[in-house]
Amino acid sequence: MQVANTPRQDVRPGSMGRPLPGVPVVLVDPVTGTPSDEEGELCLDLAARPVNLMVGYTDDPARHAEAMAGGYCHTGDVATRDADGYITYVGRTDDVFKASDYKISPFELESVLLEHPAVVEAAIVPAPDPIRLAVPKAFVVLAAGWEPTAATAEAILTYAREHLARFQRVRRIEFADLPKTISGKIRRVELRTLEQQRFAASTPDVPEYRDDALRS
């Protein structure tokens, strides 16, 4: 346990709470490796190693070296911290991407999509784009009674547009089953790879709806 809502502590909606006593949480920029006061990868400072931290990975020196690089224990989770020390989960370091030089957290966008009655499950991945480098694309599993049509796509994209910041706008949507691990976690890496392969092959018949096209 590293971060939690401990007894007698105010609970803030959306936040994981604050670091437990004796747990030296540091937010580290995943690109530069420098500490940040506001957002970064949630790490533990090994110079003040907490007693509840694992010793390391058994019989896996490469993975151990990666996890403990630069004097920090790297969790792979990206988070923000407010002025009162409350930490809010953003996403995994592998999942966060840039669109038009803005950092996009799939977790934030998916949370909004799931508020729409047509959406049962959603996964956001970067779709390669020649102008913006990448744009947010949603793979969506529909609720019963909803059809995978242009009208449904427009309704979902409109809702997302009204509830997200402009730079977070979901630009594309595709209705499909989501690949998952045995434990039920969505394998975004497969969806990212699929989008990259389509872009490289210039696939003309991608079964997706584009926000710009639906609004034109």
Q: pLDDT tens digit string along 71-116? A: 999 998 888 899 999 999 877 887 888 888 888 888 889 989 999 9
Residue 184 confidence (pLDDT)? 81
Given 92, 109, 143, the domain boundary residue is 92
What is the rounded distance in angstroms from the CA atom of residue 163 to the CA atom of residue 114?
A: 12
Same domain, 198 and 117: yes
Residue 191 confidence (pLDDT)? 93
pLDDT in tens, 162-211: 999 999 999 999 999 999 888 788 888 899 999 999 998 887 778 899 98
What is the rounded distance in angstroms from the CA atom of residue 77 to the CA atom of residue 169?
A: 23
Selection from 32, 123, 25 nearest residue 77 by Cα: 25
Same domain, 88 and 102: no
For the chain, give the longest Cα–Cα distance. Answer: 59
Helix (H) or strand (E) holding 152: helix 150-163
Six token digits for residue 182: 């045995």
- pTM score, whole prediction: 0.70
Residue 37 confidence (pLDDT)? 86
Residue 84: give the domain boundaries: 3-92
CB 24 within 8 A of CB 48: yes
102-104 vs 97-99, strand pairing mode: antiparallel
For residue 56, the domain's CATH number is 2.30.38.10
Given 40, 64, 92, the domain boundary residue is 92
Same domain, 138 and 109: yes
Place of tokens 């020196």: 61
- How many domains would you assign to the chain? 2
Given 92, 108, 133, the domain boundary residue is 92
Same domain, 76 and 20: yes
pLDDT in tens, 113-158: 999 999 999 999 999 988 888 999 999 999 999 999 999 999 999 9
